[in-house]
Amino acid sequence: MTQPPPSERPLDGHVAIVTGGGKGLGRAFALHLAGLGAAVVVNNRNREVDADGLGPADHVVREIEQAGGRAVADHGDVSDPATAEAMVRTALATYGRLDICVTSAAVSSPQLFHKTTPENFGAVLGINVTGTALVCAAALAVMREAGYGRIVMVSSTAGLHGEPTVSAYAASKGAVIALGKTVAVEGSRKGVLTNVLLPYATTQMTGQGMDPRHADQMRADLVAPVVGALASPDCTLNGEVIVTGGGGLRAADDVEWETVLLPESAPLTGPELSRLLDNSRAGQPHTFPEAQAAFQSLAADLA
């Protein structure tokens, strides 16, 4: 990791938590935030350790420190409520504050939906949804009190579009998108901005599924600058869903098209329903900041 000149360190004095920070995207995020000046609590479960008893988070901490940065490791499982509280306590006790929370910890565990076991489905949701929610909630409580914070929830385009063979993962990442949009509305009132990142990157989790034609281009470090920008105090974005990978990005959103009326008398048939949906899509797409606004728009159209 190369330390930027002082004039390019917008996160000097800031403190970040990065879950899943020992490998892949999480590692890239932790290194990048540290390079921008942030002190980082690097979280990663110790599923394997080296001969010295050091796990992935410990090695990332060592990289950050060798580059002149500040970091401390956390080895907790994010699906355990105690882990979220412990990470926040570590940030406050070690560095005196908490400004940034990036939730990158995730598992996939592919299975065809009709063969997915309750145990598998629950384990994926436990890490990806509950783990994200627990960490963000603990961080948000501190940030609201301070009147400032930046949260980046890492989701996936699987949660936006669905993806065969990873139903649990897709469902969990869709939930993270909805959670991020909700927290964005709640947190902004107290100066805490939340955005959702949908990255493409070749990592230990995506390596087998990544199209080999693009694997070399989809480096994790090419996603990290977007996280750095979202974590910056000069960023005012809130509630955004951003797809990024390989040095590019796309804005993403949920949309609803024009309101069309159901027939008043004749039974609604399949072909008629298809026609109505085509008519709706022929109109303008609409986005809404939250569900109540979408409901009020529909109600107004029907009035």
Residue 160 pLDDT: 94
Lowest mean pLDDT segment, chosen from 53-57, 172-176, 216-220, 267-271: 216-220
Checking if the pLDDT of 4 tops 60, the result is no
Domain boundaries, the chain: 6-252, 255-303
β-partners of residue 243 are 198, 250
Checking if the pLDDT of 214 tops 80, the result is no
The stretch 107-121 carries a mean pLDDT of 92
CA 54 to CA 70: how far, in whole Å?
18
Checking if the pLDDT of 178 tops 70, the result is yes
Instruction: For residue 60, give Cα distances in angstroms to 35, 47, 90.
Output: 12, 15, 17
Q: Is the CB of residue 188 less than 8 Å from the CB of residue 180?
A: no
Lowest mean pLDDT segment, chosen from 218-222, 245-249, 290-294: 218-222
Kindly report the number of other CB atoms within 10 A of residue 301's CB atom.
Answer: 11
- Give the amino acid at 173: K
CA 219 to CA 85: how far, in whole Å?
32
Instruction: For residue 158, give Cα distances in angstroms to 10, 122, 176, 177.
Output: 32, 18, 11, 11
Residue 206 pLDDT: 59
Query: Would residue 169 show up in a list of annotated catalytic residues for this protein?
Result: yes
Lowest mean pLDDT segment, chosen from 24-28, 47-51, 152-156, 188-192: 47-51
Checking if the pLDDT of 209 tops 70, the result is no
Structure token pair of residue 64: 């950050």
Residue 2 pLDDT: 45
CA 167 to CA 118: how far, in whole Å?
12
The stretch 156-160 carries a mean pLDDT of 94
* 234-281: pLDDT as tens digits: 999 999 999 999 999 999 999 999 999 998 877 899 999 999 999 999
Checking if the pLDDT of 132 tops 80, the result is yes
Burial (Cβ within 10 Å: 0-12, 13-18, ≥19) of residue 145: exposed
Q: Which of the two residues, 93 and 202, has the higher pLDDT score? A: 93
CA 124 to CA 65: how far, in whole Å?
32
β-partners of residue 151 are 101, 194
CA 36 to CA 86: how far, in whole Å?
24
Checking if the pLDDT of 13 tops 50, the result is yes
How many helices and strands in the chain, by DSSP H and E? Answer: 10, 8
- Name which of 10, 3, 13 is nearest 68 in CA terms: 3
Q: Which CATH superfamily is domain 6-252 in?
A: NAD(P)-binding Rossmann-like Domain (3.40.50.720)
The stretch 114-124 carries a mean pLDDT of 94
